Amino acid sequence: MLLDGPDVIPHINLNAIAGLNDGDTSIPSDLPYASSAGWSRQAANFLSVTRVVGRLPAAEGEPESSHLVDLITAASTHQAQPAASFHPPFAIGADVWKVSTQLSVTTTFGPGTSTFLCPPDAQPATDPDLSRLAHFINCHGGQADPQFYGQSGTSYPVALASNLLGPHLSAGAVAAAECCYGAELYNYTMAAIDPPICMTYLLSGACAFVGSTNIAYGPTNSNAQADLLTQYFMQHVLQGIGSGSALLQARQKFVQGQIMSSPANLKTLAQFILLGDPSLHPCTAAADGPDAAAEQDAPGTMQAATAAVAASEVLAPVQDRKMRRLALHGVGLALGASATKPGSEVEITKTMRDRLSELARAQGLAPKEITMLTTSGGTLYNLAAKAAGLDRKVAVVVDRTERLEFQPGPSIKLMVAHIIGDRIVKMEVSESR
């Protein structure tokens, strides 16, 4: 557990991901603390995620020591609540992402789970539902901004506000927020604004908050990037797993299932952090068993290890702690060794540039910047790629538009194309949250 804010125990400011020219000059991250890899500022060096890490935080420059004392007191007296208490969730998303949000909520909480959409839904109309224990938020966020926003067209109404949330939240709540800057611990006293929403959650009794430290991404009508990492975290929490272990296993599942040579995927892994005591179990095991969701993972070693970890986490947390740690450590090392990662920038042929521009325009993007990168990976991937003679690259198209001053941050759309030889074999489109 990292105790206090980034001005006391710092985030590791990882370098901006090559090709992802979105204005973020670095990625404030707690990911390096969760890996046994050596010191580096390259996010790609931390794909072997092996450790449970969370931060019991204060905002930067926090003047009230009592806030941190209150968080420690709440953590020391926390009691897990039945999994059934976390249904139904409080789920809210921007109207433009209604398809993506509903897919996330249905996947995580089950069919028939309702979702608020902003607009029209927002505080104070949603206040009675804020007492629910599970919160899933897919809204816009801005840098040093105490509000989350919805969107319809060019309208960005306030969905949640830091100064209004507190009285309506319940002790023991868990929140997963996809929003840009959702877990930014900015200096609110210097800026003379309200505290970060994530701190309002924790100081109102929430035991865990997962969010991003800077600009995050996800698609409009499907799930990827921020959608998946927040889903995986909440799914593991609902199995009765401790919040720190839930994020560790969410990170591992993300590395396992996503192409990590995509700069957007790599940034997602690096930017999402856990705020709250990582040893706390928000809820007890679900009625259908602690390893039910684990059995849905990929077959083989990953499935067996994850199922064993989930079972021991719930059934024998003291006796099997060493076994859990060894299993998660082994899974993390294996995934890091087999994952891909983006490499160095290379020149794009005119033919490929024209093809990428055509595809981008067809997806509604103005291809303002196009970058081509080589790919490499962990030791196992590199051996396999060399044996197969793979010439694999990744291209990133960035369409950045500045919003008006009263709107949350720039609008950034990405197209990531995966290329083998001279063929585009896969394409992903996402936009800033």
Question: Per residue in 208-260, pLDDT tens?
Answer: 999 999 999 999 999 999 999 999 999 999 999 999 999 999 999 999 999 99
Same domain, 294 and 388: no
Q: Rounded CA gap, 134 and 91, in Å?
A: 8
Q: Indicate whether 346 and 330 sit together in one domain.
A: no
Asked if omega into 342 is within 30° of 0 (cis), the reply is no
Q: Supply the pTM of this predicted model.
A: 0.91
Distance in angstroms (rounded) separating the CA atoms of residues 18 and 373: 8
Three-class DSSP category at 69:
helix
pLDDT in tens, 335-350: 999 999 999 999 999 9
Same domain, 74 and 218: yes
Backbone angles phi, psi at 203, to 5 degrees: -75, -15
Residues 37 and 77 in one domain: yes
Q: For position 189, which CATH number holds?
A: 3.40.50.1460
Of 338, 364, 381, the last residue of a domain is: 338
Please indicate, yes or no, whether residues 37 and 63 belong to a single structural domain of this protein: yes
Question: How far is it, in rounded angstroms, from Cα 316 to Cα 234?
Answer: 21
Of 338, 365, 388, the residue that ends a domain is 338
28 lies in the same domain as 95? yes
Are 299 and 367 in a shared domain?
no
* Residue 421 Cα distances to 18, 41, 373, 390, angstroms: 21, 30, 13, 8
Same domain, 212 and 352: no
> How does pLDDT run across 259-273, given as a tens digit for each residue?
999 999 999 999 999
By the 10 Å C-beta count (0-12 exposed, 13-18 middle, 19+ buried), 273 is classed as buried
Q: Edge to edge, what strands does the sheet with 158-161 contain?
A: 140-141, 147-149, 158-161
- Are 276 and 386 found together in one domain? no
CB 169 within 8 A of CB 204: yes
Report the relative pairing of strands 26-29 and 12-15 from DSSP bridges: antiparallel
Do 397 and 308 have their domain in common? no
**Helix runs in 161-300, H state only:** 162-165, 188-191, 197-203, 226-237, 243-257, 263-271
| 313 HSE (CA, 13 A, CB side) | 36
For 385-421, how does the pLDDT look when each residue is reduced to its tens digit (9 = 90+)? Answer: 888 888 899 999 999 888 766 667 789 999 999 999 9
In the beta sheet, which residues pair with residue 134?
174
Q: Cα–Cα distance between 76 and 199 in angstroms, integer?
A: 18
> By residue range, what is the domain housing residue 361?
341-432
192 shares a domain with 75: yes
| Average pLDDT score, the chain | 91
Residue of 426, 340, 329 lying closest to 381 (CA atoms): 340
* Greater pLDDT, 290 or 20: 20
Taking residues 163-182, what's their average pLDDT? 97
- 314, 338, 362 - which closes a domain: 338
Checking if the pLDDT of 89 tops 70, the result is yes
Cα separation, 19 vs 13, in Å, equals 18
Structurally, the chain folds into a number of domains equal to 2
Torsion, Cα 78 82 84 85, to 10 degrees, reads -30
Strand order in the sheet with 411-420: 217-218, 423-432, 411-420, 392-401, 369-377, 340-346
Residue 297 has pLDDT above 50, yes or no: no
Residue 299 pLDDT > 70, yes or no?
no
**What is the rounded average pLDDT of the residues 344-359?**
95
Q: Are residues 154 and 291 in the same domain?
A: yes
